[in-house]
Chain A
């Protein structure tokens, strides 16, 4: 039981490049979330999903897209990276919204 895994762990992009972050969970959770963590700002919700095939916008969705084609995977895409997207990205999942969220180890992204 691996819990929540994220790929890659680190990445450096140049402005304008694109990339996809992969989140996978093996707990059969319905809800999945993408957050970004910046110093002094806590965690901010980017996008989330309440089930396979569904996605919704969070607090800071601009510049990001997501897809949940399979229940266990939640992909976060950056179409044209900007320096403002330099951050640590965390994926999380839960069975219900009143339940514990399980977090992945994070992806540290730097955009030059």
Chain B
């Protein structure tokens, strides 16, 4: 069955440093992958997605993600972190077969950027 894993509950980074939020996935076919961000007391907001094409996907707020098929990973990255990037980040994958109408979310990673 398709799944997505975020191995880190929390990531702490100093402002100005690069950040990486990790995500690995498991699907049998070609994956449709997403990153969403959730700010306190808000719904999720779309950041970026990978469906096909270039392995480096650029998204909102200066974020990008690298699709790596051999490592089944889709890590979220940003060259220089801002305090305002502090939020909860979710990786997601579209289901397959009879589950193709569903998006499966990871458990989330809390990103904390210290000044």
Once the chains bind, are A97 and B94 in contact (CB under 8 Å)?
yes
| Binary flags per residue of B12-55, CB closer than 8 Å to A gives 1, else 0 | 00000000000000000000101010000111111001010000
In the complex, what's the smallest C-beta–C-beta distance from A66 to chain B, in angstroms? 14
Tell me if A101 and B101 are in contact (CB < 8 A).
Answer: no
- Cβ of B36: which chain A residues have Cβ within 8 Å of it? 101, 103
Size of interface on B: residues with Cβ below 8 Å to A: 24
Roughly how many angstroms separate A90 CA and B106 CA in the complex, as a whole number? Answer: 16
A80-108 to B contact mask, C-beta < 8 Å, 1/0: 00000000001010000110111111100
Q: Judge whether B51 and A58 touch: CB under 8 Å.
A: no
Asked whether B43 lies within 8 Å of A42 as measured between CB atoms, the reply is no
How long is the Cα–Cα vector from A44 to B95 in the complex, in angstroms? Answer: 13
* Contact among B45, B101, B106 for A50, CB-based, below 8 A: B101
Total residues of chain A contacting the partner, CB 8 A? 25
Chain A residues in 8 Å Cβ range of B101: 31, 48, 50, 56, 97
Contact with A along B93-115 (1 / 0, CB 8 A): 01100001111111110000000
What are the residues of chain A within 8 A of B104 when measuring CB–CB? 45
B90 at the interface (CB under 8 A from A): yes
Report A41-75 residues with CB < 8 Å from chain B CB. 41-45, 48, 50, 56, 58
Chain B residues in 8 Å Cβ range of A48: 101-102
- In-complex Cβ contact of A40 among B45, B94, B107 (8 A): B107
Known A31-B101, A50-B101, A58-B102: A98·B44 in contact at CB below 8 Å? no
Given A45-B102, A48-B101, A56-B101, verify A98-B94 contact (CB < 8 Å).
Answer: yes
Query: Footprint of A on B, CB under 8 Å?
Result: 9, 32, 34, 36, 41-46, 49, 51, 90, 94-95, 100-108
- Beyond the given pairs A31-B101, A35-B105, A50-B101, 20 more chain A to chain B contacts, judged by CB atoms under 8 angstroms and listed by A's residue number, are A4-B43, A33-B102, A40-B107, A42-B108, A43-B44, A90-B44, A92-B43, A97-B100, A97-B102, A97-B103, A98-B32, A98-B51, A100-B46, A100-B49, A101-B34, A103-B36, A103-B43, A103-B45, A105-B42, A106-B43
